[in-house]
Structure 1
Amino acid sequence: MSSSTRSRVSTAPARGSMPRAPAQERSQQRVELALQATERLLLRLGPEGTSIPEIAHESGVPRASLYQFFPSKYAVFSHLAEVHLTYVAALLAARAQKLKRRDWRTVIRLLINEASDYYDATPVAGMLVLGGPFSRAGYLSQVAAINRIGREVGATLAQLETPLVLPKSPDAATLAVEIAFACMKFGYYRDSRISRPVRQQACNATVAYLAAWEK
């Protein structure tokens, strides 16, 4: 596992994202070991073959300790997906800060490719985010992340030198993110990656939708 992936896995969970937050350093270390082990198992065995007993064996963390924080493997998957989605949101926000002089169509294309590059380069993220969610908690976490990304995209487009101001009702920015995300999921299901043709279709669909608000 790369150091960058390790740093994402060890990101502190958002409040409410875990059944019980670790209060002591030893517990935090155990959770980090379990998350890292889960990523390795997902790459080897996939979601179906990964289980709490396998995670316990791979990480060296007692099963009873794991259940204190994650009542099922789906709780682990949900937390890992949230970590990766949070990272993607931060990645896009950082990228957007450098694009204020670009036209909005170019911004959309660059952001879609930035997110696609991350999912293609990070198989576990693709598996859990594009191949999931695997539970209702995972679904709700994904919706919240898409809403955050939508707000960032809307703010970015409104701050361009030639701004594209989108309505809040309907929430056009978040709907645009959903359109692009649906195309990415289609590409992942078909090819286990987001190919160049699928990326182009994601750009085309998103731009066509947003063009309705261009002045």
Structure 2
Amino acid sequence: MVNEAVKPPHNPAFVARKPQQQRAKDRVDLVLAAAEELLLEAGLSGFSIPTLAERLEFPRATIYKFFPTPYALLNELAERQLAALEEHLAAYAESIAQASDWQEMVTRMIHAAADYYSRHPAAQVVLLTGPISDASFRALEYTIARLGTLTRTLFAQRGIAVPEDSPDIAALAVEFGTASFRMSYFLHGRMTPEYTQAGADVMLAFLAKRLGLALR
């Protein structure tokens, strides 16, 4: 369970303003798509709203209207990538559940997550390089908690109870797998098969230890 007591004060500089009209929504989508391209080409150090405005041939004010700072724009990208990652894993849930045993189930889950990161390089930049702000950190941890819930549900379908109390074993397992992805991106700039499998190995060892399960 996420502790609401540690929620930081709201900082409008880090939050995107939501467009109300369809035309504005379409323009925001264009800005976000171009922002991903710029991020992949120039990295975080070369990312700026003036550069983005020049690329789009938009007045800077058009972007600042919805994204008061680069952090607000990057946070919005991160939140959209997190939502897409959750949808990706939910779509794989049936296939994951059909695994022959719990170990294959966990391995399929982490490979599905690695597949998402490989298909979406911008997700690697905004999600695996460290939190951009308190808001992005909390968004990531909320997603990890929800993926922990998905993990707990998949185990329950096999008759294996994963406790929900502290420590949150399922969320911690997801956190360990994510740490392996971060290391893979840091060292190689991509998801490698070796680090993907290492993430699965760490998750399996941790879950086996905490749940009293045998490893084959």
Give the drift of 1:85: 1.3
Q: 1:74-123 CA distances to partner (integer Å, 9 max, x unpaired)?
A: 11111111111111111111212233342111111011111112212221
Contact 1:84/1:125, CA 8 A, preserved across alignment: yes
Q: Answer yes or no: is the 8 Å Cα contact 1:78–1:133 preserved in 2.
A: no
Q: Is residue 190 of structure 2 the alignment partner of residue 193 of structure 1?
A: yes
Contact map agreement 1:164 1:214 (CA 8 A) in 2:
no
- The one-letter amino acid paired with 1:66 is I
Q: CA RMSD in A?
A: 1.7
Q: How many angstroms does 1:126 deviate by? A: 0.7
- Closer, same or farther in 2 for the Cα pair 1:60/1:206, shift >3 Å? same
Shift of 1:62: 2.4
Paired residues of 1:30 and 1:61 also in contact (CA < 8 A): no
Contact 2:88–2:116, Cα closer than 8 Å, also in 1: no
Aligned length: 198
Cα pair distance change 1:61/1:148, threshold 3 Å? farther
Contact 2:144–2:174 (8 Å) recurs in 1? yes
Gaps of 5+ in 2: 1-11
How much has 1:177 moved relative to structure 2?
Answer: 0.4
Q: Which residue in 2 is equivalent to 1:8?
A: none
Contact 1:119 1:125 in 2 (8 A): yes
Q: Report whether the alignment pairs 1:128 with 2:126.
A: yes
Q: TM-score under structure 2 normalisation? A: 0.85
Is 2:64 aligned against 1:67? yes
Task: State whether residues 106 and 204 of structure 2, in contact with CA within 8 Å, keep that contact through their aligned partners in structure 1.
Answer: yes
Paired residue type of 1:165: A
* Contact 1:81–1:128 (CA under 8 A) maintained in structure 2: yes
TM-score (norm 1): 0.86
Q: 1:154 pairs with 138, 152, 168, which one? A: 152
The 1-side partners of 2:152 and 2:164 are apart by 9
Is there any run of 5+ residues in structure 1 with no aligned partner, and where? 1-15
Please point out which of 20, 24, 30 is paired with 2:27.
Answer: 30
Counterparts in 2 of 1:200-211, with a 5 A limit?
Answer: 200-211=197-208
Structure 1 residues 39-78: aligned runs within 5 Å: 39-78=36-75
The partner residue of 1:213 within 204, 211, 214 is: 211
Runs of 4+ in 1 over 3 A off after TM superposition: 16-19
Is the 8 Å Cα contact of residues 86 and 147 (structure 2) preserved in structure 1? yes
Distance 1:118 1:192, change over 3 A: same
- Compute the displacement of 1:209 (Å): 0.8
User: How high is the sequence identity, in percent, across the aligned residues?
Assistant: 35
Match of 1:165 in 2: 161
Counterpart-to-counterpart distance in 1, 2:95 and 2:119? 22
